[in-house]
Amino acid sequence: MTLSKQQLESGNEFAPRFNQDGLIAAIVTDAAGGGVLMFAYMNKEALRLTIETGEAHFWSRSRGKLWRKGETSGNVLTIREMRIDCDQDCIWLMADIRGEAAACHTGRQSCFYRRIEMGKEQNPGLSFVDE
């Protein structure tokens, strides 16, 4: 069944739109505090397992395999609420972290620990690593 733009954006149908690689973006926030914990991708199986088990599953592009968050670290993400954006190409997971309260593989609570200052005066000679 193909949904119209109106049905996709405003209807009640759950119709996740996976990209050409069969993946959908997933943003995870802390259910208690609201901070962004991590960003990852899900394939259909990861999304299905997340919905069925209530624990976050993702697709690892670097390893080419499905993984359950916390399977090696013990830092399991238990989903409290899940939403999909207006055009159904991004998932938002609000989760509680069990274990050491670290969502990042570096041991930090969030993968977003680097701050980037705004303004040219804050970044004289701005360049990127690949330049």
Interval 14-73: pLDDT, tens: 889 999 999 999 999 999 999 999 999 999 999 999 999 999 999 999 999 999 999 989
pLDDT in tens, 91-111: 999 999 988 888 988 989 999
The size of the chain, in residues, is 131
- 22-122 adopts what CATH topology? Ubiquitin-like (UB roll) (3.10.20)
Residue type for position 85: D
The pTM (predicted TM-score) of the whole model is 0.85
Domain boundaries, the chain: 22-122
Which residues make Cβ contacts (< 8 Å) with residue 40, sequence separation at least 6?
26, 28, 58, 59
